Structure 1
Amino acid sequence: MKFRRIRALAVKELRQVVRDPRSLMLALAMPIMQLFLLGYGVNLDISHVPVCVYDQEGSQFSQSLLKRVQASPYFRIVRNLHSMREIAPVMDGGTCRLALVVPADFSREVVLQRHAAVQAVVDATDDNTATLATAYARAVVAGFSHDVQLNLMERTNGMPLQLAPVVEQSRVWFNEDLESRNFIIPGVVALVLALVGAQLTSLTIAREWERGTMELLISTPVTPMELLLGKLAPYFAIGLVDAAICLAVAVYWFHVPFRGQLAVLLLTTSLFLTVVLSVGYFVSVSIPNQVGASQIALFLTIMPISLLSGYAFPIDQMPAPIRLITYAIYARYYVTILKSLFLKGSGLLDLWLPVMALAGYAVVMALLAARAFRKRIG
């Protein structure tokens, strides 16, 4: 294996990328576009949920509860209703996702220390929004109830009331603000690198066949391993540039905390790029057609990474057979590493298992890609 041949192939491939505006756009513009689209589009948090209220009592006491709801960043009161019959039409029409009904004897029941209930009617066509909206509404009502009990305790000169004997105090680690963006963005980086890397390299050998230059390439003394290294070297460098861009956008634009070490990120990103570039090269060797190779590479990257890598859906919540399948998805290990580096600040020793799995994948896929090419016609 001679470095001079590898360098010549790498320079040739880099010139091809620069001269092809589609490849250049795919390499540089697509990562930024995808990161912004997925960063803003994929969000499991809710805010400003439209709420309709039916205050049957209409007292200052009940209005103070509704003001507490309006002050919450999670809700936005859009309409006051005058009967229970109005709830169904506004829910069906999409005017509100949550309806709160305050009973006519609300303040009296609270003062008499009885069970005062506020009814919440939720549109559950989107179960995630419905679950979170219900939880937030309970939290708002619970906070209001706690303040009311303290006020009544002061008015009765400290006489004990039916306060809860146990108070929960929670402390959140790693993602203190509970923002789903901090959970999703690191996985988006893996998705972007896999998609761009596999898409670009899937065209390398297929392009040679379509343009009739494969015969000239086969006639040269270049070996399959030299061809692999020379073809993939420019895309490896482009992938590292894309990774740096994704890291900068994630940290400085989306404000996702990065607590790990850059050296560990560089090492694991290099292993991941080796895997995805080898997958694209293997597809390009197997399918001598740019359109077909691009579609197969797209199928092999976006489907498993989107659904089975843990980038958006927690793996531990999947059925047992599906969880077993995820161990064969190389992106699973890189997504685990990214989330640990970004949020936990884990070191290399903490991540030795996913790093070793990713390294094993890189070696196997590189060998398969190198052996897939044969210097023969037909």
Structure 2
Amino acid sequence: MRPRRLFAIAFKETLQIWRDPRSLAIALLMPFMQMLLLGYGVSLDIRHVPLCVHDEARTQTSRELVERFVSSGWFSAVHTLDSERDVREAIDRGQCSGAVTIPVDFTRTLTTTGVAPVQTVFDATDTNTTNIATGYAQGVVAQITTAFAARWASDHGLRTSTVGTVDLESRVWYNEGLDSRNFIIPGVVAVILALVGAQLTSLTIAREWERGTMEQLISTPVTPLEVLVGKLMPYFAVGFVDAVFCLVGAVFWFHVPFRGSLLTLATTTALFTLVVLGIGYLVSVRIRSQLGASQVALLLTMLPTTMLSGYTFAIEQMPAPVRTVTYIVYARYYVAILRAVFLKGSTLAELAAPLAALTLYAFVIGWFSVRAFRKHLD
């Protein structure tokens, strides 16, 4: 490669980006909008689930039970209902996602036997929310059951037995607050880089065909490798700027803990950027229409990155055939790297496997891209 020819192509492509408002919009506005929308819009945490209360007992003990639900922060009592029919109608109308029913003899049964039934009902049309809310409700009931049992034993002059009990001490590493934002935001960075990088470079060669400048490019002495490197250089700089913006936003705006090395993060991000830029360039070489190339690039980046990279769905929970397919999804390795660097502080040595996969991907995509470009008009 000759530096003079290389930088001439890079300068020409930089002018194309500057003069094309669509490319500028993709490069500058899309990362900002996606970071805000995905960062705030995607969350696995559930807070203040609207809860209807059917309290037939209407005693201090039953009110204490309801207060425990509300004070947990997981539920908010939005309606107090008078009958089971009202509970069904409120859930059907979407006024609440669940209901807790306290029977009329709740307090009397609790004070005499120490055990009293309480019913919770949830709308299971949203199974994810229902499963999490049911677990929250069980946790609240377990806490108040312990308090009621100790109170009942004290009122009856009994000593609570500790024989045969197990004291569970649980600890959580890397994401101590179990905040889903710390799990999701690093994956958002991968989604943005994959989408923006491939979208930008998918227009490079297709633009030459549509504007009739391919003949001029072919007539020059540049080699296919020089065309590849020269055209990707400006987009690599733009993609790296977008990556820095997203990563800074993740740390300082969304307060995702960063425990790793900046060198590790920069190295892996540069490698992933090369992969997505190469995919977009390869699509642009094969498809001579900017619209068609853009759509194919969207298909090759958005769907695999969001569905098969582990960004939204745990790969371990996928069926075996789907798990096998995820090994060819390049974003899978970068998402794993981002979470390991941010939350675990992993080093390059500890990330050898995903780094090797990304490196292999970059070489394969680069080789196919160079082979795909031909200096003829057929």
TM > 0.5 fold call: yes
Measured in 2, the distance between the counterparts of 1:22 and 1:87 equals 52
Measured in 2, the distance between the counterparts of 1:109 and 1:128 equals 34
Measured in 2, the distance between the counterparts of 1:148 and 1:200 equals 62
In structure 2, the partner of 1:228 is 228
Q: 1:164 to 1:235 in 2, by over 3 A?
A: farther
CA contact (8 A) 2:53 2:80 kept: yes
In structure 1, the partner of 2:110 is 110
Q: 1:108: Cα distance to partner? A: 2.5
Q: Which moved more, 1:14-23 or 1:93-102?
A: 14-23
In structure 2, the partner of 1:345 is 345
Q: Which moved more, 1:188-197 or 1:343-352?
A: 343-352
CA contact (8 A) 2:114 2:152 kept: no
In structure 2, the partner of 1:124 is 124
SS at structure 1 position matched to 2:120 = strand
Measured in 2, the distance between the counterparts of 1:134 and 1:289 equals 51
In structure 2, the partner of 1:279 is 279
1:42 maps to 2:39: no
In structure 2, the partner of 1:309 is 309
Measured in 1, the distance between the counterparts of 2:111 and 2:167 equals 22
What's the TM-score, normalizing by structure 2? 0.97
In structure 2, the partner of 1:134 is 134
In structure 1, the partner of 2:196 is 196
In structure 2, the partner of 1:6 is 6
Measured in 2, the distance between the counterparts of 1:126 and 1:168 equals 31
SS at structure 2 position matched to 1:79 = strand
CA contact (8 A) 1:283 1:293 kept: yes
Q: 1:154: Cα distance to partner? A: 4.2
User: Which residue identity lines up with residue 88 of structure 1 in the other structure?
Assistant: R
In structure 2, the partner of 1:183 is 183
Q: Aligned residues: percent identity?
A: 56
Q: 1:34: Cα distance to partner? A: 0.5
CA contact (8 A) 1:194 1:273 kept: yes
Q: 1:187: Cα distance to partner? A: 0.8
- Deviation string for 1:319-366 (max 9, x for gaps)? 000000100111111111011111111111111001101101011101
Measured in 2, the distance between the counterparts of 1:125 and 1:273 equals 40
Q: 1:163 to 1:130 in 2, by over 3 A?
A: farther
In structure 1, the partner of 2:172 is 172
- Deviation string for 1:64-112 (max 9, x for gaps)? 1111112121111011111111111101000011100011222223223
Q: 1:165: Cα distance to partner? A: 1.6
CA contact (8 A) 2:150 2:160 kept: no
CA contact (8 A) 2:51 2:75 kept: yes
Measured in 1, the distance between the counterparts of 2:105 and 2:212 equals 85
1:206 maps to 2:206: yes
User: Which residue identity lines up with residue 367 of structure 1 in the other structure?
Assistant: W
In structure 2, the partner of 1:76 is 76
Q: 1:15: Cα distance to partner? A: 1.4
Measured in 2, the distance between the counterparts of 1:167 and 1:46 equals 28
User: Which residue identity lines up with residue 307 of structure 2 in the other structure?
Assistant: L
Q: 1:54: Cα distance to partner? A: 0.7
SS at structure 2 position matched to 1:112 = helix
- Deviation string for 1:133-185 (max 9, x for gaps)? 11111111111111222333444556225898223322111111112111111
CA contact (8 A) 1:149 1:163 kept: no
User: Which residue identity lines up with residue 69 of structure 1 in the other structure?
Assistant: F
- Deviation string for 1:211-246 (max 9, x for gaps)? 111101100000000000000000001111001000
SS at structure 1 position matched to 2:53 = strand
SS at structure 1 position matched to 2:264 = helix
Q: 1:56: Cα distance to partner? A: 1.1
In structure 2, the partner of 1:254 is 254
User: Which residue identity lines up with residue 129 of structure 1 in the other structure?
Assistant: T
CA contact (8 A) 1:51 1:96 kept: yes
- Deviation string for 1:2-40 (max 9, x for gaps)? 011111111111111112121111101101101111111
CA contact (8 A) 1:215 1:377 kept: yes
Measured in 2, the distance between the counterparts of 1:15 and 1:148 equals 73
In structure 2, the partner of 1:147 is 147
CA contact (8 A) 1:149 1:161 kept: no
SS at structure 2 position matched to 1:31 = helix
SS at structure 2 position matched to 1:101 = strand
- Deviation string for 1:259-292 (max 9, x for gaps)? 1111111111111111111110001010111000
Structure 1: segments with no counterpart, 5+ residues? none
In structure 2, the partner of 1:160 is 160
Measured in 2, the distance between the counterparts of 1:352 and 1:149 equals 53
In structure 1, the partner of 2:330 is 330
Measured in 1, the distance between the counterparts of 2:155 and 2:83 equals 34
What's the TM-score, normalizing by structure 1? 0.97
1:267 maps to 2:267: yes
In structure 2, the partner of 1:90 is 90
How many pairs are equivalent? Answer: 378
Measured in 2, the distance between the counterparts of 1:307 and 1:268 equals 21
Q: Name the Cα RMSD after superposition.
A: 1.4
Q: 1:253 to 1:14 in 2, by over 3 A?
A: same
